[in-house]
Amino acid sequence: MKVEVKIDKDVLETTVLILAKELNDDIFELQRNIASIKSHAIAGFDNYRLEFISQEDIIRVYANMGNVYIVTKAKEYLTKTTLGELEELLNKTNFIRISRSDIINFKKVKGFDFTFVGTISVEMINGDVVYVSRRKLKDVKKYLGI
């Protein structure tokens, strides 16, 4: 492994870029180690580029087909951090788990639809529509104060 540090006085934010021939467990382990240093931001991959994502930019986090994705207004990132680990890392004031596969940022909710019997439909600011599971319905209603 080769490590380089470049100093540029014009850089506003420190950026870590991992260049690798392929995405493998060693790269994901490296990502987790770097992410643990900067705990207020979440690390995610945009193709082979590792980026730190500010919690304020996250719209939702979801799991699909064994992978975990972080959705922002600009991009969708892949992360090897589990939903459970992300649930612990994310600010509890803004983020809530609404189902087995979804965590949403309440600051990024466009609206709630209560017309479905037994669940709530949630529209996010980017147009995504997600559903609160029956199991999490009580927690969400409590969070909303209803």
Is 6 inside any structural domain? no
Is 38 inside any structural domain? yes
Strand partners, 41: 54
> Which pTM was predicted?
0.71
What total of structural domains would you count in the chain?
Answer: 1
Is 16 inside any structural domain? no
Is 19 inside any structural domain? no
83-117 pLDDT per residue, tens: 999 998 898 889 999 999 999 999 999 999 988 77
Is 35 inside any structural domain? yes
Number of H helices, E strands in the chain: 3, 10
Q: Are 98 and 63 in contact (CB under 8 A)?
A: no
Q: Examine the pLDDT at 61 and tell me if it is beyond 80.
A: yes
Q: Are 74 and 54 in contact (CB under 8 A)?
A: no
Is 96 inside any structural domain? yes
CATH code for the domain of 90: 2.40.50.1020
- Those residues whose C-beta lies under 8 Å from the C-beta of residue 115, and which sit 6 or more positions away, are 121
Is 135 inside any structural domain? yes
For residue 137, the SS3 value is helix
For residue 125, the SS3 value is coil
Q: Please give the residue range of the domain that contains residue 56.
A: 25-144
3-59 pLDDT per residue, tens: 777 888 887 777 788 888 888 888 888 887 776 665 567 889 998 888 989 999 999
Q: How far apart are CA 57 and CA 74, in angstroms?
A: 9
Is 12 inside any structural domain? no
